Amino acid sequence: MFSYRPPPVMRIGSIDLPNNLFAAPMAGVTDRPFRQLCKRLGAGYAVSEMVTSRRELWASLKTSRRANHDGEVAPIAVQIAGTDAAMMAEAAAYNIDRGAQIIDINMGCPAKKVCSKWAGSALMQDEPLALAIVDAVVAACAPHGVPVTLKMRTGWCREERNAVRIARAAESAGVAMVTVHGRTREQGYGGDAEYETIAAVKAALTIPVVANGDIDTPHKALEVLRATGADALMIGRAAQGRPWIFREIAHFLASGTPLAPPSVLQARQWMLEHLGDHYSLYGEQAGVRTARKHIGWAVRSLPGGEAFRAHMNTLESCASQLSAVSLWFDALADRYERLPLCEVAANDDLVSLRA
């Protein structure tokens, strides 16, 4: 029988959240416009792309865009990445000055650029360093009343799943919430996420624990909540091009019934508003280029989407991109009232058509 009771209040430190469905930090994806869209479409919380702790890069266009929170719906959560405790403490203070209300430490990212500098999930291999970073960041945030959260994997490799040990120590050090992606560093994004280690972390802590990894449908969301006992879920890749997944999951968890896909005209409106917001952050040239991936994700599972995606790469101005998107969705609306979506699994495979 269907049953799910959400936690009465979802809270990070003293900050209340509207629900327990979170958008995962994804570098190059969860910029401010995308986070806003996710929050609008049902995410109770969204974390920024990681911001480096290397001070010399803070003035770069890339980092200053990541640290720009103009008009962002609270709470503003910024993820920081680095390898040196003092620099991470400084990065926390820098982002608090720019509006961060929650600081998240990246101990989950397997990207080479991060790991070769001994940051991200590589930190899980050096527990003393990981905990020195946690201590330093907590100490920097405490005077501002800013909670610190930690995002990690299950461990470094299969034989070294030390998530429970690190999570316990982080809780003792004052961390307010832990998110666990159910893969080891060694796995990258391969194989399937496992949820036993997340369940073990949840059982070991009193602070909220967030389950992450391969949650791509409302049914899977319920399954992961049941398997882990987690307080919240974090969704990454499945929200790319489908940011309304948060409200689909919320609806399903509340009622046990699926939510109808959005109407084509509604999806068109969301896409156009997202593009407008996107261009205003990135400007014309970078905006058009970086919007292509969002448009591609939005149309990839729709009839004719692949051809349209290829056409997008030939357009070079905001006006032509907006107009093409608008006309494409209008034509789709002539054929369908609601999005004739294929379910897109986390690995991008099309698994079933639910026209």
Residues forming the active site: 109
Specify the residue, 236 or 305, whose C-beta has the smaller distance to ligand FMN.
236
Cβ(232)–Cβ(198) under 8 Å? no
Report the interhelical angle of 245-255 vs 218-228 (nearest 10°).
Answer: 60
φ and ψ of 225, to 5 deg: -60, -40
**Which one of 161, 237, 278, 294 is in contact with ligand FMN (CB under 6 A)?**
237
Rounded distance between C-alpha atoms, residue 128 and residue 61, angstroms: 33
Q: Which of 215, 232, 332, 341 lies at the binding interface for ligand FMN (CB under 6 A)?
A: 215
Which of 7, 28 has the CB closer to ligand FMN?
A: 28
Q: What is the CA radius of gyration of the chain?
A: 20
Tell me the β-bridge partners of 149. 104, 177
**177: helix, strand or coil:** strand
181 vs 309, beta carbon nearer ligand FMN = 181
Amino acid at 273: E
Q: 55 CB contacts (<8 Å, ≥6 apart)? A: 87, 90, 91, 94
Q: Is the dihedral of CA 220, 104, 176, 254 positive or negative?
A: negative
Does 31 contact ligand FMN by CB under 6 A?
Answer: no
Using CB under 6 A, which of the segments 61-69, 162-170, 236-244, 329-337 binds ligand FMN? 236-244
Using CB under 6 A as the binding rule, whether residue 49 contacts ligand FMN is answered as yes
Based on the shown chain and the rule CB under 6 A, indicate whether residue 236 belongs to the binding site for ligand FMN: yes
Instruction: Out of 46, 89, 103, 109, name the contact with ligand FMN by CB under 6 A.
Output: 109
Smaller CB distance to ligand FMN: residue 95 or 318? 95
Answer whether the bond into residue 340 is a cis peptide, omega within 30°: no
Contacts of 263 (CB under 8 A, 6+ apart): 333, 337, 338, 339
Q: How far is the CB of 158 from ligand FMN (least distance, A)?
A: 18
Does residue 82 bind ligand FMN (CB under 6 A)? no
Number of helices and strands (H, E) in the chain? 12, 12
Residue nearest to ligand FMN (CB): 236
**Is 7 a residue that touches ligand FMN (CB under 6 A)?**
no
Nearest distance from C-beta of residue 43 to ligand FMN, angstroms: 12
What is the nearest approach in angstroms of ligand FMN to the Cβ of residue 212?
5
Using CB under 6 A, pick the residue from 44, 213, 261, 287 that binds ligand FMN: 213
Least gap, CB of 117 to ligand FMN (angstroms) = 14
DSSP secondary structure code for residue 338 in this structure: B
Q: How far is CA 234 from CA 21, 111, 126, 215, 313, in A?
A: 6, 19, 25, 8, 31
In the list 7, 28, 188, 304, the residue contacting ligand FMN (rule: CB under 6 A) is 28
194 sits near ligand FMN (criterion: CB under 6 A): no
Q: Quick count: other Cβ atoms within 10 Å of Cβ 35?
A: 25
How many residues form the binding site for ligand FMN (CB under 6 A)? 23
Determine if 201 is a binding residue for ligand FMN (CB under 6 A). no
28/145 with CB nearer ligand FMN: 28
Binding site residues, ligand FMN, CB under 6 A: 24-29, 49-50, 79, 106, 108-109, 151, 181, 212-215, 235-238, 346
